[in-house]
A and B are shown apart, each in its own frame.
Chain A
Amino acid sequence: MEKKTMSNPVYLKGEIRENKRMGSLYHRLSIFLPKPIDPIIPGQFAMLSMEGTKDILLPRPFSIHNVERNEGASSLDVLFKVVGTGTALLAKLSIGSPIMVLAPLGKGFPDPPLGYKTVIIAGGMGIAPLFLLILRLKTVSSSVLVLYGAKSRDDLICLPELLDMVDIAVKIATEDGTEGQKGLVTELLEHGEDEAGTKTAMYACGPEPMLKAVADLAAERKMPCWISLERRMACGLGACLSCVAKTKEGYKCTCKDGPVFASKDIMWRDNAEP
């Protein structure tokens, strides 16, 4: 039977338990929820909104970075970079602040085919949904290699967590060379992970040109590959049809049919936006 990739979402008032600043622009929010929620499939996301603010209207989507599920309650972590009015407001939330949460949403990453090695490619904030995936793949894949890249060392916000993990290999690239290999994270892929007939599956999240480069490589080497896309959203439920990406079967909702797609299904344009 195919592993379940979607869940029933709940809409709940949560409470900020921690708002950790990570470098100048990054934050990790830990949100306490007073109810249990469905198991989180790595790659799923939450819509967050603040009641009472007049500065923004729509909820904002964030990948679920970590989760704790207990009998009567649960908690979700999200990572974000301050990029606009919504994230600037979230960055100011203090401990105890209420926050409305709609989660878990969307389709997560499927497991790799049996016996496959896995390579995970994370670009910048793309690390957010991949942390839970790494934990999952450690239990189902014969080997896990994580390629983690960003503009500069300060943008590698999950590096300490990754280096603490056992049973995975981690390679780093930064565009300015302040950590690991100098250059793009996709350049770390040029080492033939699938050589000698080893079957390898790829998982990626990050800027769209990076995703396209990964998708092209997967197509060329005929490797299974899943990518997570980011879009502006309104409902998060597949109702408003705002967040579409172009696929071989036409426009699909990133919120409901994604955010995880098989890379072979995406129709890329020249500027890398599907």
Chain B
Amino acid sequence: MPSLKVKVGRLELQNPVMPAAGTFGYGEEYASLIDLNRLGAIVTKGISLAPQEGNPPPRIWETRGGMLNSIGLHNVGIEQFAQQKLPVLRRFKVPVIVNFFGFTIDEYVAAARRLSALEGVAALEANLSCPNIKAGGIHFGSTCISVIEITKKLVKSTNCAIIIKLSSQVSNIKEIVLAAEGEGAEAVTLINSVPAMAIDLDRKKPVLGGVTGGLTGPAIKPIALKAVWDAASSVKIPVIGAGGIMDYRDAVEFLMAGATAVQVGTANFIKPTTMVEIIEGIDAFLEQRGLKNIREIIGSAQL
């Protein structure tokens, strides 16, 4: 059996497959359908200091080859997460990566402090790339100056491994990931959903209640792959690839482009068993080629 083990910063994962934040709830929603213990890690819905109501509906719209969402970071807030959601996740032996966000840098720091003090939090993934909130989110992830400031403060304020989740919608992804690496981020996740919209012809209005949203699904995979390729060639810290991964072949593409791990998002909605099938698919792919270790394919796509 080939080894699928990877290291993401200080985290040792049994395989590189994890859900993308916001597509897997708080884990418990899928616990009766797949064995969560088989995953590389569990990544939670994005959490903030206070509960968030989220954006007005409609919140989703299917497009050709993709899906628009405008959830607006609807979440239960840190205290309810700590009391009700995290105890359920602690029952599984898989590392829990908590995705989080704030509307100001101080809120990011306060959330990171509070979350890192909770038992059972293996790492924190800072969302610097959500397209669906008016303040915060993508605003903090689009310039080197703000990525430097926020990463530095997060790393200083907690003992937890900090992962920075970034957008593809920046002028120079290489500079941005270098900024995160330089301030002590242990990994970067690329990409978040791509800002997008749709119009209802009859109502002559945008279809989403939040007006614009984020595009996910197969439509964005090539965009995500390019971002991962650029990032992986620039930094030494691990890159977690995300964006339109539907099956093991997509996952292997990201690994070959240089991703150390992959996140599966929209595909969880289409087929709840996708992540387990991807893990089995990667295993079979390595086996068929006589490869002993997943490290042999990570970054193996070379010019």
- A residues with CB within 8 A of B: 8-11, 49, 54, 56-59, 100, 102, 231-235, 237-246, 250-251, 256, 273
Contacts and interface: CB of A to CB of B under 8 A. Distances in A.
Given A232-B58, A234-B67, A59 B269 contact: yes
A238 B25 contact: yes
B273 A11 contact: yes
B30 A242 contact: no
A8 B53 CA distance: 27
B71 A241 contact: yes
Main secondary structure of the interface of B (DSSP, over half): loop
A228 to B, nearest CB: 17
A164 to B, nearest CB: 37
Contacts of B58: 232
A242 B270 CA distance: 14
Given A58-B67, A245-B57, 9 more contacts: A49-B271, A58-B269, A232-B60, A237-B30, A239-B25, A243-B57, A243-B60, A244-B54, A244-B59
A239 B30 contact: yes
B169 interface: no
Nearest to A232: B60
Contacts of A58: 62, 67, 269-270
Contacts of A54: 65
Interface of B: 22-25, 29-30, 32-33, 45, 53-54, 57-62, 65-67, 69, 71, 74, 217-218, 266, 268-273
Main secondary structure of the interface of A (DSSP, over half): loop
Given A49-B270, A102-B272, A238-B25, A57 B61 contact: no
B59 A242 contact: yes
9 contacts: A11-B273, A57-B67, A235-B29, A240-B60, A241-B54, A243-B60, A245-B57, A251-B53, A273-B57
B23 to A, nearest CB: 6
B71 A240 contact: yes
Give the interface centre of A58, A235, A250, A273 by most chain B CB atoms within 10 Å: A235
A100 B272 CA distance: 11
Contacts of A11: 33, 271-273
A232 B208 CA distance: 12
Contacts of A250: 53
B21 to A, nearest CB: 11
Contacts of B45: 239, 241
A240 B54 contact: no
A104 to B, nearest CB: 12
Contacts of A239: 23-25, 29-30, 45, 268-269
A57 B217 contact: yes
A141 to B, nearest CB: 32
Closest 3 CB pairs of A and B: A239-B25, A242-B60, A239-B29
A244 B270 CA distance: 19
Given A57-B62, A57-B270, A102-B272, A240 B32 contact: no
